[in-house]
Chains A and B, each alone.
Chain A
Amino acid sequence: MRELELYFGPQHLGMVGNFSITLKVEGDRILEAQANPGYLHRGFEKLMEYRTWIQNFPMVCRINVIEPDSMEMVYAMAVEKLAGIEVPERANYIRTIVLELSRVSSHLFGLWAYANMLGFDTVAQWAMYHRDLILDLFEELTGGRVYHIYIWPGGVRRDFPEGFKDKIVNTLHSIGSCIPDYDNTFFNNRLFYERAKGIGKITQKEAKELGATGQVLRATGEKFDIRKVEPYAVYDKVDFEIPTREDGDAYSRIWVIRDEMIESVHMIFKLLDAMPEGSVYNKVPNPFKWKIPKGEAYVRVESSRGELGLYMVSNGEDKPYRVHFRTPSYTHGLVILEKLLKNASIADVGNIMISLYVIAPEIDR
């Protein structure tokens, strides 16, 4: 059979986000795949070297559109570590709640993408609607629906507005009450099983060798989660489980996402109950005179996709000297995707890519 080169994306039905893959195919079988990121490369890490510590804070969230909060968190953590800033306890609780809310909203978005790709449009629309309800919460808390610009060095930008706790509870209950419907229509649907089972399968050993984290790794049975491994914010003060699956395929990954969402919702309820009163922000120095002592820091959080890290170097100036984000999609979308696509069929490209939960802007930065 003749060998062909096939360009998959960036404008393609099975493709979510600005990303493309060059496939070498023989008939329906993929011989080799090359991931082509860079459609959204804005050079954030370079741009951040030109901006002061506080000016960078509204920018980091733009690296990952779907889940800006963990980006803000990791930046705030790095700055706090370098500058030695303490965060009030209540702010840590709020941060954790916000991060978990954003995990739910991000997972719902991922569910939308995956269901949409498989053709389960009804579920996709539900997921989008429920994500919107969480965005409403974010809008009320932070003033922005997508870019929250909320978790900043020293704490969070504003306290909960009045009656916000109840709003979170109500919204989460209304989403939670739909879980049986989600299960009936999607997760327990035989069609989903047939379409996802065995697709993009990776063993735990391979996953570890390729630097997988997040659902990709947890779907192979490893309970690796930064929230447990190196707890930040108040994850060491709240009780939660790390859902895993054993098979390492698309089916397992999507189930892990579902279980994680439910676990996050339970966690938010616990956090809301345990949340102390008090201030939520320790003032950082005057932004025009703020210099951070020389040093370097690597901090990591568990974003909705896996380990999100930030390596930051300060040269004692008012701007960072070097910033480097370690984003989970980077390894998933470039290394693991290329590996999994080998010998797959063309019809499964979208399925594999979206089940890996790859977000292109996160790769490109």
Chain B
Amino acid sequence: MTEGGYVGVTASSMIMTNKKLKEELESTFKDIQVIVPEDTRLNITAREEDALTILKFLKDRGFNFLTLISCVDWIKENEFELVYIITSYLQKNDEYTQREKLQIILKTRISRTIPESKTVTPIFSNAEVYERELHELFGIKFEGNQRLIPLFLEREYKIPPFRKDFDTREYVKEVFDKIPFV
């Protein structure tokens, strides 16, 4: 029926629980913080340099679905937090196991003054468009992403509009109040 397509999944990794994964992650990487807030979630906090290798590590263990890349602007700490949400497609086609429920949230912090990070497109090709969005809305540069062209916006903004110091109301006042009322 199906052609499989399990990227780098071994039989042993299929039964791996999140606890085991946590141990494995902690022993493999330095300066990593792994918490299991609930059975189906795994939160990893890591250094930005390690993000790429951790993602590779996870993909090799069958977490082959990059759901979302997001960014949180922690303006008080002067940091951006990049959030990668990774999960996996089905291991066997007509079986739903605990494994697919597991979602991994990988968080890394980068400086807000020089917002730069490395692209993860070599590992997850659909990351390209997420990185484009974050580049546009937060002004984060992803080194290695060749296509950081505008996505949604048509105007130029002094401050990327999704940053916390961009005041929507002020902007609206500034831009649209000038347009005469019809």
Contact = CB atoms under 8 A, between A and B. Distances in A.
Tell me the dominant secondary structure on chain A's binding face: mixed
Interface stretch (B1-9, B14-22, B24-32, B48-56): B1-9
A79 to B, nearest CB: 17
Contact of B153 (A38, A204, A229): A38
A276 to B, nearest CB: 25
Interface of A: 37-38, 41, 43, 45-47, 50, 203-205, 208-211, 217, 221-224, 228-230, 246, 296, 298, 300, 307, 309, 311, 313, 321-322, 324, 326, 330-331, 334-335, 364
Nearest to B6: A208
B162 A45 contact: yes
10 contacts: A38-B150, A50-B168, A209-B124, A211-B126, A221-B2, A229-B90, A246-B2, A298-B85, A309-B67, A321-B72
B126 A224 contact: no
B66 A326 contact: no
Interface of B: 1-3, 5, 7, 40-41, 64-68, 70, 72-73, 83, 85, 89-90, 93-94, 96, 100-101, 103, 105, 124-126, 128-129, 150-154, 161-162, 166, 168-169
A324 B70 contact: yes
Contacts of B105: 296, 298
B3 A203 contact: yes
B93 A364 contact: no
Contacts of B3: 203-205, 221
B169 to A, nearest CB: 8
Contacts of B94: 223
A224 B125 contact: no
B73 A326 contact: no
A75 B51 CA distance: 28
Given A208-B65, A322-B70, A47 B129 contact: no
B90 A223 contact: yes
Contact of B83 (A205, A311, A321): A311
Nearest to B38: A81
* Interface SS of B by simple majority: loop
- Most A Cβ at <10 Å: residue of B1, B67, B73, B168: B67
Nearest to A208: B89
Nearest to B147: A34
A246 B148 CA distance: 35
Nearest to B101: A230
A228 B92 CA distance: 13
Given A222-B90, A324-B70, 9 more contacts: A38-B150, A222-B89, A224-B89, A298-B105, A321-B72, A322-B72, A335-B125, A335-B129, A364-B152
Nearest to A81: B38
A-B CB proximity, top 5 nearest: A38-B152, A211-B126, A41-B152, A326-B68, A324-B70
Given A45-B162, A46-B162, A335-B129, A322 B90 contact: no
Nearest to B72: A322
A322 B71 CA distance: 8
Given A38-B151, A50-B168, A205-B5, A334 B162 contact: no
Contact of A309 (B68, B100, B128): B68
Given A46-B162, A229-B96, A230-B101, A41 B67 contact: no
A222 B85 contact: no
A331 B66 CA distance: 11
Contacts of A326: 67-68, 85
Nearest to B94: A223
Contacts of B72: 313, 321-322
Contacts of B1: 221, 246
Contacts of A300: 67
Given A322-B72, A330-B129, A211 B67 contact: yes
Nearest to B162: A46
Nearest to B70: A324
A229 B98 CA distance: 8
A309 B85 contact: yes
A208 B64 contact: yes
B161 A46 contact: yes
Contact of A211 (B2, B5, B65): B65
Nearest to A336: B126
A37 B136 CA distance: 13
A222 B109 CA distance: 35
A47 B168 contact: yes
A45 B161 CA distance: 11
Nearest to A42: B152
A221 B90 CA distance: 11
A224 B67 CA distance: 13
A223 B92 CA distance: 9
A313 B124 CA distance: 24
B168 A43 contact: yes
B126 A37 contact: no
Contact of B124 (A205, A211, A298, A364): A211
B96 A209 contact: no
A348 B101 CA distance: 37
A311 B154 contact: no
